Amino acid sequence: MKLTICKDAYQTCIRVAEKLAVLGAKGGTVALSGGSTPKLLFKIMREQGAERWEKLKFFWGDERIVPAESPESNYGEFYRELVASGIVPAENVFQSPYYPDTAEVLKDTALKIERSVPHSDGLPRFDLILLGVGEDGHTASVFPDNLASFNSEKALEVVKHPASGQKRITLTGSAINNAAEVLFLCTGESKSYILYQVICNRDPRLPATHVRPVKGVLRWYLDEAAVGNINY
Ligand code: 6PG
């Protein structure tokens, strides 16, 4: 596990953009995290222009099962920042489309991954999976109340947010831990407690604790606020 600590969220996202650009130089598949943290990364990617990202294929580690126009949509955020602006071509973006029938969402997403992500050991092997950590220790959309979904033999599961009941599709731990590289991007003081529980205490009740790429590299990109007064 490799830890990179930067002064603030902007510098942390700059470093993550550099990681993406290294992969972009040769091309590859990236599963993005959702939520609010990556929004700054997307802005930086837009500032840096199209060339760095043109060989990358973008997927999501998880998606809320809502229309793309919804402010809740992880794809929607990326689309508004990077596709609508012409920075990332639409043909390189593989979102989970919205259907009222979640079985259709699962089928469509699985087919896109099947066709566009190289596989090993019967599972997709993303070149890079970007993850965040929720304050409850969830990652992607694997929540503490449904740790079983982390260990599913399948690459994708449809789950529910424990509080809102919102339906989501998520990569499972089987797919996450099959990646060549997993990169946690966490910023802000609100994450310092849960990061201590995941990184230092390795609390087994927390899904993020179980992210351990079998044949890949695990990296953490944190800002000083997320580190807090912990001496990693
Ligand atoms: C999602 C995410 C989720 C996110 C964490 C952190 O769809 O919400 O994929 O796992 O990464 O909840 O979210 P923030 O970046 O908003 O803190």
SS3 annotation, 155-178: CEEEEECCCCCCEEEEECHHHHCC
Residue 43 CA to ligand 1 centre (angstroms): 17
Residue 123 CA to ligand 1 centre (angstroms): 23
- Which DSSP state fits 33? P
Q: Residue whose CA is closest, atom 10 of ligand 1? A: 140
Question: Do β-strands 119-120 and 123-124 pair in parallel, antiparallel, or remain unpaired?
Answer: antiparallel
Nearest to 36 by CA among 81, 6, 92: 81
Strands (E), the chain: 2-6, 28-32, 56-60, 62-64, 119-120, 123-124, 128-131, 156-160, 167-171, 181-186, 217-223
Question: Which amino acid type is present at position 208?
Answer: A
**Ligand 1 atom nearest to CA at 64:** 7
Residue 3 CA to ligand 1 centre (angstroms): 19
Q: Is 144 in contact with 206 (CB distance < 8 Å)?
A: yes
Q: What pLDDT, on a 0 to 100 scale, did the predictor assign at position 231?
A: 79
Question: Which amino acid type is present at position 221?
Answer: Y
Residue 131 CA to ligand 1 centre (angstroms): 8
Q: What pLDDT, on a 0 to 100 scale, did the predictor assign at position 230?
A: 81
CA distance 100 to 212: 33
Question: Do β-strands 56-60 and 28-32 pair in parallel, antiparallel, or remain unpaired?
Answer: parallel
Q: Residue whose CA is closest, atom 8 of ligand 1? A: 35
Q: Residue whose CA is closest, atom 5 of ligand 1? A: 134
Q: Residue whose CA is closest, atom 7 of ligand 1? A: 34
Return the SS3 of 204.
coil
Tens of pLDDT, residue by residue, the chain (232 residues) = 899 999 999 999 999 999 999 999 999 999 999 999 999 999 999 999 999 999 999 999 999 999 999 999 999 999 999 999 999 999 999 999 999 999 999 999 999 999 999 999 999 999 999 999 999 999 999 999 999 999 999 999 999 999 999 999 999 999 999 999 999 999 999 999 999 999 999 999 999 999 999 999 999 999 999 999 887 7
**Ligand 1 atom nearest to CA at 168:** 7
Ligand 1 neighbours (beta carbon < 6 A)? 33-37, 61-62, 74, 132, 134, 138-141
Q: What pLDDT, on a 0 to 100 scale, did the predictor assign at position 229?
A: 81
